[in-house]
Structure 1
Amino acid sequence: MSRPIDRRLLAATEPLRAAASAGAFAAALPVLAFAPRGDRHPVLVLPGLGATDLSTGTLRRWLRSLGYPVVGWELGRNRGPTQEVVDELPRLLARLHAQHGSPVSIVGQSLGGIYARRLALRAPAQVRQVITLGSPFAASRPEPGSPAARVFERYRPLHSTRRLSTSRTPLRRALPMPSTSIYSRWDGVVPWRACLQETGPTSENIAVRASHLGMGLDPAVLWVVADRLAQPADAWRPFRRPTRLGLGVLFPDD
């Protein structure tokens, strides 16, 4: 196990490291062209706290290039669990499920991943799998004093007293459908341990080297998302670190 990295340094370098991920994405495009492809089932992508669909634009465009019908949440800026979010996200999921006649895979970044897991508990028949990117669903509340906590508190007066799901199941527990949590020990926004779920036959945690803000652009993250979406609905298997095309170097050893 490598030595822990100073959280203050990680937070301070988040923008720079996110920009580096954008450059790495552009450089890795020829290799990413070989990413796994699956059946063309619907995919819903949810942004993180304080972000809009613009933040997931690269990820969604790339997934469309792989053949998936992909949509963003179309609810503007993510200000936390407002009444609009609580009301509209279940309706959006239900519409996608009905429109395509297929359960929907949900990819959520940061707070968007927490929404994704709650939606999965609320309507399991409508969700094929859940993939989260740097989502601190295992924490009971935002880390006090952290950048995420400050933003969350700023929006708290807008939050609904209702939840997306009334299930009392802790979000760190394995979901009733396949679930993948992508996390990074180099995350400068949320504690990486808060992104770990209980592992099981269809639940896993996958480490990458990405920054929090750069997860939607990081080549390793994009490869994992493609690999997970390509899993057959009735034959899901845990992720195996790729060895071809030199992709193994994108993933940490521990």
Structure 2
Amino acid sequence: MATRFFNLGEGTRAELARRWELAREPCPEDVRGPRLLLLLNELTWVAEPVKRMFREHRVATARTPRSVMLLPGFGAHPIRMRYMARQLEKAGHTVKRWGMGYNLGATAERFFKVEERLLDLFARRGEPIVLVGWSLGGVIARELAKRHPDKVAKVITMGSPFSGSPRANNGWRAYQAIAGHRVDEPEFEAEPAVKPPVETVALWSPLDGVVNPRSACGWPGERDRAVPVRCSHMGFVYSKDSIDRVLGELEAV
């Protein structure tokens, strides 16, 4: 392994070293992520497909079907939101992916691509789109709504760290190492705490082991409403409570 590392080009080694330094940056003393016990509880998501075999999630038919785009969290692929998508579709909503693969950070290229995706969906559907963003996906959804409020019907964030310090979570070091930039320095202009000019609802959980609940809940003026759910951070995309809340918010558009 060491030999392979030294065979890397000088530029590659320098970039790896830079990202390592980003991951080693100190955290402000007054900023804390969720407790370690809650973080360890996040590992239970691996058993979810088995648990799902022994329960039924009944979904009521939507009175007014909506067009929805799902935005995955950092490090997640859209397939992680497939179960949620199926439940929303079962209710009669039209659900679309964000048009890319893994979400590996708030880069300019990624933001502009999902922005093009929103514009394309709006043109094809002929109606404003509801944006449902998980974690970092929700932060991106808020910025999209600020730029295109006429094309977004509503923003629903799930465990998204839009309020307070972007380091108030247990994933910011991994983010900086993988994305290649500081978590509070995205590659596009953004003010996460500023509320979009459309209805914005924040789902948050006291059991979240990744993002500080206060960061995901926000303060009055940073969102229209904050809705508590009881699930882990990973559970936002598969727990019955979370999905039922999203379905309810779609009915309330």
TM (norm. structure 2) is 0.77
- In the alignment, the residues of structure 2 paired with residue 147 and residue 96 of structure 1 have an alpha-carbon distance, to the nearest angstrom, of 34
Which residue pairs with 1:220 in the alignment?
Answer: 241
The match for 2:95 among 49, 62, 70 is 70
Which residue pairs with 2:155 in the alignment?
Answer: 130
Q: Which amino acid aligns with 1:130?
A: V
Alpha-carbon distance, 1:140 to partner: 3.5
Which residue pairs with 1:88 in the alignment?
Answer: 113
Answering whether residue 176 of structure 2 is matched by residue 153 of structure 1, we say yes
Stretches of structure 2 lacking an aligned partner (at least 5 in a row): 1-33
Indicate how the Cα distance of structure 1 residues 18 and 215 shifts in structure 2: closer, same or farther if over 3 A, else same.
farther
- In the alignment, the residues of structure 2 paired with residue 157 and residue 17 of structure 1 have an alpha-carbon distance, to the nearest angstrom, of 27
The match for 1:45 among 51, 70, 79 is 70
- Measured against aligned partners, the alpha-carbon deviations of 1:12-66 in whole angstroms (never above 9, x if no partner) come to 111216746973696241xx323x6142231000000000111101011111111
The match for 1:106 among 131, 151, 154 is 131
- In the alignment, the residues of structure 1 paired with residue 247 and residue 64 of structure 2 have an alpha-carbon distance, to the nearest angstrom, of 11
Instruction: Summarize the alignment of residues 27-42 of structure 1 with structure 2, pairs less than 5 Å apart.
Output: 27-29=55-57, 32-34=58-60, 37-42=62-67
TM (norm. structure 1) is 0.77
Indicate how the Cα distance of structure 1 residues 16 and 162 shifts in structure 2: closer, same or farther if over 3 A, else same.
closer
Indicate how the Cα distance of structure 1 residues 26 and 49 shifts in structure 2: closer, same or farther if over 3 A, else same.
farther
Q: Which amino acid aligns with 1:216?
A: V
Alpha-carbon distance, 1:214 to partner: 1.2
- Measured against aligned partners, the alpha-carbon deviations of 1:139-181 in whole angstroms (never above 9, x if no partner) come to 34233xx541122111232799641xx46xx433443211111
- In the alignment, the residues of structure 1 paired with residue 154 and residue 53 of structure 2 have an alpha-carbon distance, to the nearest angstrom, of 25
- Measured against aligned partners, the alpha-carbon deviations of 1:177-204 in whole angstroms (never above 9, x if no partner) come to 111111011100110000123446x811
RMSD: 2.5
- In the alignment, the residues of structure 2 paired with residue 219 and residue 19 of structure 1 have an alpha-carbon distance, to the nearest angstrom, of 15
Contact kept, 8 Å, 1:22 with 1:217, in 2: the verdict is no
- In the alignment, the residues of structure 2 paired with residue 161 and residue 190 of structure 1 have an alpha-carbon distance, to the nearest angstrom, of 18
Indicate how the Cα distance of structure 1 residues 83 and 17 shifts in structure 2: closer, same or farther if over 3 A, else same.
closer
Contact kept, 8 Å, 2:68 with 2:129, in 1: the verdict is yes
Indicate the percent of aligned positions where both proteins have the same amino acid.
Answer: 29
The match for 1:187 among 198, 201, 208 is 208
- In the alignment, the residues of structure 2 paired with residue 25 and residue 129 of structure 1 have an alpha-carbon distance, to the nearest angstrom, of 32
The match for 1:59 among 70, 84, 96 is 84
Which residue pairs with 1:204 in the alignment?
Answer: 225
